[in-house]
Amino acid sequence: MKKLLIFAICAFVGVACAPRTEKSADEKTPREIAGEYLLKDYDPVSIFNVPVTLVDRAKYGVIDMHSHDYNDADPEKIAAWVKTMDECNIRHTHVMHCEWIGAPFEESIAAYGKYPDRFSVWCSLDYTDIEAEDWEERAKAHLDRCKALGAFGIGEMVDKGLGDVYARPVKGTHIHLDHPKMQSVLEYAGKLGMPISIHVGEPIWMYEPIDLHNDGLMNGANWAVDTTVEGCYDYDGVMECFVNAAKAHPNTPFIACHYLNMSHDWERLGKILDECPNVYVDISARIGESAATPRATRRFIEKYADRIFYGTDNGTSADMYRFTFRILETADEHIYQPDFGYHWAYSAFDLPDKVLRKIYYENAEKFIKKYKN
Ligand SMILES: [Zn+2]
């Protein structure tokens, strides 16, 4: 009897545990098929029959306030860049200087200096031996020298939480704008009339938990900031640090790159611009974030049109420039960008001509006139 029972159980388990035959693709339901795809592989193609308005040349001659030396100061590549700028109606480009891309400052100045009407070059702060007693004097002397060589401003500085880690030749790791030794140097930059272009934080998704509720999950994961590292500021920490510095040095102009990485909350950014008249923003490299909410973005741009600069920060290709023109100038909707960072479609801003002129060149012209050597 006992043997029989064991046999019966084994027979039952055997049936229950027998390998299930995989369903063929034809047998799967659409929900089953969709459930097997991974978000990272999602590559949708827009099916809408809506206008597609390609813009070859910007409507007005543009001043790009945020680019980099993508050419390692190579004369041939720079000449090709000038040609692309001509084709796309980019009149002038500001070349940021930093650790992660491009030639050292002196080489950049020499190479781009051949086109004084087309390029301006910015410099870094020199953090060498910041703990030494004479650092503030050395840092100021460095700025004097860079300015004399033709540097327009200081940047791109950065603080995503770990300090100015883009600086060259020495990274300013854990050096935030609230560092005691920075105060006289920030003040001196204003005295010299050298604006500071600074990348503060990252888009908010990079600080949110990487889980199923993260609104910008895949791009958030690509650029996630680990604020658990000792000494790292979190999103609110870097923003507070920046705003305090802008308020403490009202004669030093700051350009907060990428809409201060605050395009998820225009109200908060507007308040900062209201409180800090020396703060400007550039629109560079934040189409993915700002074109998710085109009407809110347009309202912000219209309201703060005098404080916003055009910028790219995204290579030198004609297609790159043209995509920015399409987003700013047209009313196109449901656009997917080829390098699909966020999993949403973009819609363009359809900015009025008066605002376009300000963003494309009028604000920059005024600014350059005020701060150029
Ligand atoms: Zn940049």
Give me ligand 1 centre to Cα 201, in Å: 13
Give me ligand 1 centre to Cα 239, in Å: 18
Instruction: Judge whether 13 lies within some domain.
Output: no
CB burial of 185-200 (b: ≥16 within 10 Å; e: otherwise) equals bbebbbebbbbbbbbb
pLDDT of residue 207: 96
What DSSP assignment string belongs to 313-325? -S-S-HHHHHHHH
Q: Largest Cα–Cα distance of the chain, in whole Å?
A: 102
Give me ligand 1 centre to Cα 30, in Å: 43
For 268, the domain range is 58-371
Give me ligand 1 centre to Cα 165, in Å: 13
Instruction: Judge whether 333 lies within some domain.
Output: yes
Give me ligand 1 centre to Cα 197, in Å: 9
Helix (H) or strand (E) holding 156: strand 154-159
Instruction: Judge whether 26 lies within some domain.
Output: no
pLDDT of 96-123, one tens digit each? 998 788 899 999 999 999 999 999 999 9
pLDDT of residue 20: 57
Locate all alpha helices (DSSP H) within the chain, ordered by sequence.
2-17, 30-36, 75-88, 105-112, 135-149, 182-192, 217-222, 235-248, 266-275, 287-290, 294-303, 318-329, 353-357, 363-371
Contact 190/252 with Cβ under 8 angstroms? yes
340 to each of 40, 295, 362, how far by Cα in Å? 10, 21, 32
Instruction: Judge whether 22 lies within some domain.
Output: no
β-strands 172-173, 279-282 pairing: unpaired
Q: Give the gyration radius of the chain's Cα atoms.
A: 26
Give me ligand 1 centre to Cα 68, in Å: 6
Instruction: Judge whether 227 lies within some domain.
Output: yes
Give me ligand 1 centre to Cα 33, in Å: 41
Contact 172/163 with Cβ under 8 angstroms? yes
Instruction: Judge whether 285 lies within some domain.
Output: yes
Give me ligand 1 centre to Cα 66, in Å: 6
**Pick from 82, 50, 51: which is nearest to 67 by CA?**
82
pLDDT of residue 316: 97
pLDDT of residue 9: 44
pLDDT of residue 16: 46
Give me ligand 1 centre to Cα 94, in Å: 10
In whole angstroms, give the CA distance from residue 358 to residue 88. Answer: 18
> 157: which strand partners?
198
Q: Please name the residues in contact with 367: beta carbons below 8 A apart, sequence gap of 6 or more.
A: 195, 253, 280, 309
Give me ligand 1 centre to Cα 10, in Å: 67
Give me ligand 1 centre to Cα 101, in Å: 9
Give me ligand 1 centre to Cα 46, in Å: 30
pLDDT of residue 5: 44
Give me ligand 1 centre to Cα 258, in Å: 9
Give me ligand 1 centre to Cα 135, in Å: 26
Residue with tokens 């500085």: 157
Instruction: Judge whether 36 lies within some domain.
Output: no
Specify the number of domains making up the chain: 1
Instruction: Judge whether 11 lies within some domain.
Output: no
Give the chain's residues under pLDDT 70: 1-21, 373
Give me ligand 1 centre to Cα 8, in Å: 71
Give me ligand 1 centre to Cα 11, in Å: 67
Give me ligand 1 centre to Cα 286, in Å: 11
Give me ligand 1 centre to Cα 313, in Å: 5
Question: DSSP state, 63?
Answer: E
The CATH number of the domain where 336 resides is what? 3.20.20.140
Give me ligand 1 centre to Cα 96, in Å: 7
pLDDT of residue 158: 96
Q: What's this model's pTM, rounded to 2 decimal places?
A: 0.91
Give me ligand 1 centre to Cα 156, in Å: 6
Give me ligand 1 centre to Cα 259, in Å: 12
